[in-house]
A and B are shown apart, each in its own frame.
Chain A
Amino acid sequence: MSEFLQFLINGLAVGSMYALIALGYTMVYGIIQLINFAHGEFMMMGAFVGAFTLNRLQGTPLAVALVISMLAAGLLAVLVELVAYRPLRRQPKIFVLTAAIAVSVLLQNLGRIVFGSSAVSFPAQFPQGSIGLESLGVWVEYSQLFVLGLSLVLMAALWLIVHKTKIGAAMRATSQDIDAARLMGINTNLVISFTFFIGASLAGAVGVFYGMQYSVDPLMGVQPGLAAFVAAVLGGIGSLPGAMIGGLLIGIIENLVAGYLSSTYQGAITFVLLILVLSIKPTGLLGRMAPVKV
């Protein structure tokens, strides 16, 4: 029992990071029906910016480094959309999708050139250690608590933006009918830029979380990016709660599989899940049928 609880806690900690990345996938898909395959790279960029800020500018508070990382990842995404996706918006969807894959490869290699291909680590931010829940026999590491707590804060902030602000209302309207939104005076280009910014800044925050626990390298965005993509599909692409639930589920399932079977299967299980979702319920857990545009 305590073993199961431990896997569950580890799963939640990883899963909350997947959830934050998945939110970016699902928001962008909701607005322009694009699977942004470069999304994992925004996380990688956020991680590098965070690591460099903390390593080079000794004494920078973690909170400041986190904000800088989020801003950097967000601005990079706005730039990518502007340069690589927007010019293709009126073309068939496959064009933009291909561009996204190209941007992904480009950013990975740009990372390699700029930051070097050897891994960088974050300076220690927390005292090593964990809080033990003796009676249950489980341990929660400080860094896990930090990640879980901040993930919840960021998700709450996102919910507030989407549901309580005018730009959030414009996002929801744009995701339902972009042409009607334009005719109601909504500047949809701004809404799309903003969506990319918010989604990527969440990924940038995850980059910092990830870097703090593991290390930072140019290909670090690939695996979490794919896991989060599956999470978004599992939850129902386009659905924000779906992305959160999907992310947590993938994190938990990965940890259970690694714990009870073997960590060899940890990555494979994600794709088994993807195949299952696509064959059983292609719209995902909370997804609705995509509106057919005539």
Chain B
Amino acid sequence: MTTTTAPLLKTTGMGINFGGLKAVDEVNLQVDPGEIVGLIGPNGAGKTTCFNMITGVYKPSRGSIELAGARIDGKSTPSINHLGIARTFQNIRLFRQLTVLDNVRVALHRQAGYGLLGALLRLSPYRRAEVSMRQRAEYLLDVFGLAERRWDRAGDLPYGEQRKLEVVRALATEPKLLLLDEPAAGMNPQETATLTALIQRLRQEFKVSVLLIEHDMSLVMKVCDRIYVLDYGKEIARGTPPEIQSNQQVIKAYLGEA
């Protein structure tokens, strides 16, 4: 008998139609515990749509999605988050009017074990929970170099720090799998280098697996263990970074017919 650990994320024949259009068709992704997996492809290939199906924003028309062996397709977005999937967004979607600290605390709030009455009467479970949440939030901000910004409004942060804060906020929900949607978009090479180190740190320090959409190929090739390539909603290749770099079909999809 062989013991196999269930893959953390597994999509089988996942697909969705928008009107008559098959936006995503027959996508089979797998992310094992501890893996960093890339999802690349030209614009409009359906990458973000895959993220939206995995997180329950869209309901897939076909196929199944499993998290650690249990079906999650059809579950609500908040409950999928509770089960252990968090994400960031291609276009940053922080709670801009809230402080940096509150953005993280909101994401932590599920872990707080106290009720409304306790909060109003400031009972000790409330105070204890608040203190530990505060510490956790401060710790996360510290790790990502945002501690000094904690009282700033999230919308006032420079672009690169907003991207980082999105990662911190997602991480605060204590996911097993983190979906990063173009984390390096709009970053300069310096910021991208920091981000690369940060993604590797996510796996080592926070024990999360990562599924990453990214157009910056140097980043993808550096951090990913394996890569899936989508084009027109279909998988056209999969493999290790060197395999993908030399794959003729991938080159054709990116550069067009020569």
Residues of A within 8 A of B (CB): 157, 160-161, 164-167, 169-170, 172-173, 176-177, 179-188, 288
Contacts and interface: CB of A to CB of B under 8 A. Distances in A.
Contact of B78 (A164, A166, A177, A188): A188
A186 B173 CA distance: 10
B98 A172 contact: yes
B93 A186 contact: no
B77 A183 contact: yes
A29 to B, nearest CB: 15
Contacts of B82: 185
A193 B103 CA distance: 22
A30 B66 CA distance: 36
Nearest to A164: B119
A176 B87 CA distance: 17
A161 B119 CA distance: 8
B232 interface: no
Contact of A185 (B94, B95, B173): B173
Given A166-B119, A173-B98, A177-B93, A184 B169 contact: yes
B115 to A, nearest CB: 9
Interface string B110-136: 101010100110000000000000000
28 contacts: A160-B119, A160-B120, A161-B116, A166-B109, A167-B116, A169-B105, A172-B97, A172-B98, A172-B102, A172-B106, A176-B98, A177-B94, A177-B95, A179-B57, A179-B77, A179-B93, A180-B93, A181-B95, A182-B77, A182-B78, A183-B81, A183-B86, A183-B87, A184-B81, A185-B78, A185-B107, A186-B106, A186-B110
A294 to B, nearest CB: 9
A166 B116 CA distance: 8
Interface string B67-106: 0000000001110011000110100011111100011011
A188 B110 CA distance: 12
Contacts of A170: 106, 109
A184 B173 contact: yes
Contacts of A164: 119
